[in-house]
Structure 1
Amino acid sequence: MSEIGVKNGVATMINVFHVEPEDQKKLVALLVETTESVMRHVPGFVSANIHASVDGTRVVNYAQWESEEHIEAMLADPEVHPHFAEVRAIARPERGTYRVVYVEEANPRD
């Protein structure tokens, strides 16, 4: 389950894909299909959240993994590489790995 929190201990990979507006829906469909058929089965996968910009020029994948080592292993996994090529054919990815350092909520849960 996706949960953003300082203490949840996951590593977060945020990938911003720059895409032409006419390719945004195709990219979203490709990322969803890849997540459902491949990524969710890769060791260490926790969640993926895909966001499409209103102007059609970006797609963001906010993915949580058990650790930074799991992210690195996924990136080196030959089963994943063909899907990266499909994405790069229509979008320019900009990837980073992050740790949550602050969260504020309007109605915090106890």
Structure 2
Amino acid sequence: MPYIRQDFDGQTVICTFDVTPGSAHDVLDLLNIAWDEVISRQPGFVSGAIHLNDAQTRIATYSQWRDRRDYQAMLRSPEMRERNRQINGMCKSFEPVMYEVQAVFQD
């Protein structure tokens, strides 16, 4: 489970996938399998989550990595390159963005 804290010194990546309501669950299925079989087993993986908006037009993933290079190595692996081609083919767009936590608020 992601634990978001301001002193996290790893890499945070938020990916957004622009999908249609008709393809959202197919993309979710592919993402869940990729996370279960590949992504979560990669060196440097800390945690992650997959989100779907109410209109089923956007999927967002949130992942935490020990280091930016760990995330990049996962993306460059032959298995993930093939999976990402398949996932990207089902999306209108796909955008991974690297972030650094700036502030955390909680109850």
1:96 aligns with 2:89: no
1:69 aligns with 2:81: no
Distance 1:61 1:44 in 2: 17
1:33-58 CA-to-partner distances (Å, cap 9, x unmatched) read 11001111111111120000101110
State the Cα distance separating 1:2 from its structure 2 match. 1.4
Gaps of 5+ in 2: none
Equivalent residues in 2 for 1:1-110, closer than 5 Å? 1-91=1-91, 92-106=93-107
SS at 1:54 equivalent: coil
State the Cα distance separating 1:9 from its structure 2 match. 2.0
Moved over 6 A (4+): none
State the Cα distance separating 1:8 from its structure 2 match. 2.3
TM-score (norm 2): 0.93
Sequence identity, in percent?
29
| Number of equivalent positions | 106
Q: 86-95 or 69-78, which moves further after superposition?
A: 69-78
SS at 1:80 equivalent: helix
Distance 2:43 2:14 in 1: 18
Counterpart residue type for residue 77 of structure 2: D
TM-score (norm 1): 0.90
Gaps of 5+ in 1: none
**How big is the alpha-carbon RMSD for the aligned residues of Structure 1 and Structure 2?**
1.1
Distance 1:33 1:71 in 2: 17
Q: Rg bigger for which structure?
A: 1
